[in-house]
Structure formats: structure tokens, C-alpha cells
């Protein structure tokens, strides 16, 4: 079965590469040192420091494998192909909440890069799915567990 592509912006690719480098060059070395120190305590069969360090090592190695897989399957969003006419991956979209009148600006990114705290939402999220392919002036309904939200697309621009 082919592996799923990881859709990334140039910024997202850079962040993943930096995180991978940090895990490999800093965290891996730190946890290896902790394991070495724990072994020096003697009997590792009942050594909680050793167990904690080994668990952390397994977590770090798993994260490294995940990030390497993401990079192997990365598809970079071509910023020259981002249209200001319709919402697409890489668009920044200004939405108006029609119930409360609030305006929210979101960047539409792939799921690996999504971070709602930075107003980066996935094209696979309920809001992302609802606005993909839509134009300025479109009214969209987003079905969420709490009910239905209505937004108007006020503006679309590239990253």
C-alpha cells in the first residue's frame, strides 16, 4: 500500500527538518548519557532511572522515524500555484462568523502542519473541508459536534 503524502509549506518543511535535527543531535545524545549514568548505578533490573531513560529513548526514536517518514513522503505546496480566487492548500483565508460577527484568519495547510493555536488549520478539518475550492463571498456551513457554524469568506490570499 502506498504511503500517504505529507503536504507541507516551505515553512512547515523547515520546522520538521529542524525538529528532526534537534532530536538526532541533542535529545538522542542526552538520553544516551542518562542511560549510561543509570547503568553506572548498578543493577538495572530495579533501576527506575534506567527504565525512564529507556522509555524516553524509545519515544525519541519513534518520533525520529515518524518525522523521517513525513520527509520521505513530503509534497511541497508550490506557492506560485496558490490562487487568490479560490481557497486551496497554502491559502490564507479571512472568515466572518455569521452568528457572532467575529472575523478569523486561517492558513490552510496539510494535516502534519496544522496548529490551531497558530491559526493554521488542516484542509481535512471540518472548516478546511468546508472552504476548500470556495470563492470570496461564499457562505459555508461547517458541521461540528456542537452544531452548525456559518462563515462568509471575506478574503483569500497566498501564504
Tell me the per-residue pLDDT of 62-76, one tens digit each, with 9 for 90 and over: 999 999 999 999 999
Residues 91 and 55 in one domain: no
Q: How far apart are CA 67 and CA 53, in angstroms?
A: 21
Tell me the per-residue pLDDT of 100-149, one tens digit each, with 9 for 90 and over: 999 999 999 999 999 999 999 999 999 999 999 999 999 999 998 889 99
Residues 104 and 129 in one domain: yes
Give the lowest-confidence range in 15-19, 65-69, 92-96, 144-148: 144-148
The answer to whether residue 144 is domain-embedded is yes
Q: How far apart are CA 94 and CA 152, in angstroms?
A: 8
Question: Which pLDDT does position 83 carry in this prediction?
Answer: 78
Residues 107 and 48 in one domain: no
CATH of the domain at 136: 3.10.50.30
Among 76, 99, 118, where does a domain finish? 76
The answer to whether residue 99 is domain-embedded is yes
Q: How far apart are CA 40 and CA 112, in angstroms?
A: 40
Decide if pLDDT at 44 tops 80: no
Residues 38 and 67 in one domain: yes
Residues 64 and 113 in one domain: no
The answer to whether residue 1 is domain-embedded is no
Residues 97 and 63 in one domain: no
Residues 52 and 113 in one domain: no
Question: Which pLDDT does position 2 carry in this prediction?
Answer: 65
Among 76, 98, 122, where does a domain finish? 76
Question: Which pLDDT does position 1 carry in this prediction?
Answer: 58
Question: Which pLDDT does position 46 carry in this prediction?
Answer: 76
Q: How far apart are CA 157 and CA 85, in angstroms?
A: 8
Spatial contact of 92 and 159, defined as CB atoms under 8 Å apart: yes
Residue 96's domain spans which residues? 79-157
Q: What is the mean pLDDT of residues 21-38?
A: 95
CATH of the domain at 59: 1.10.287.180
Among 23, 42, 76, where does a domain finish? 76
Residues 34 and 45 in one domain: yes
Query: pTM value?
Result: 0.78
Amino acid at each position: 500500500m502506498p504511503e500517504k503524502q505529507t503536504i507541507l509549506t516551505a515553512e512547515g518543511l523547515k520546522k520538521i527538518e529542524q525538529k528532526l535535527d534537534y532530536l538526532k543531535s541533542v535529545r538522542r545524545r542526552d538520553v544516551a548519557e542518562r542511560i549510561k549514568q543509570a547503568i553506572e548505578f548498578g543493577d538495572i533490573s530495579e533501576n527506575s532511572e534506567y527504565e525512564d531513560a529507556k522509555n524516553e529513548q524509545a519515544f525519541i526514536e519513534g518520533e525520529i522515524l515518524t518525522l523521517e517518514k513525513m520527509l520521505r513522503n513530503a509534497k511541497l505546496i508550490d506557492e506560485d500555484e496558490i490562487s487568490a480566487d479560490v481557497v486551496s492548500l497554502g491559502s490564507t483565508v479571512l472568515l466572518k462568523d455569521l452568528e457572532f460577527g467575529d472575523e478569523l484568519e486561517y492558513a490552510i495547510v496539510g494535516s502534519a502542519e496544522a496548529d490551531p493555536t497558530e491559526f493554521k488549520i488542516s484542509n481535512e478539518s471540518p472548516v478546511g473541508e468546508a472552504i476548500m475550492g470556495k470563492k470570496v463571498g461564499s457562505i459555508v456551513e461547517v458541521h461540528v459536534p456542537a452544531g452548525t457554524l456559518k462563515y462568509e469568506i471575506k478574503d483569500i490570499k497566498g501564504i
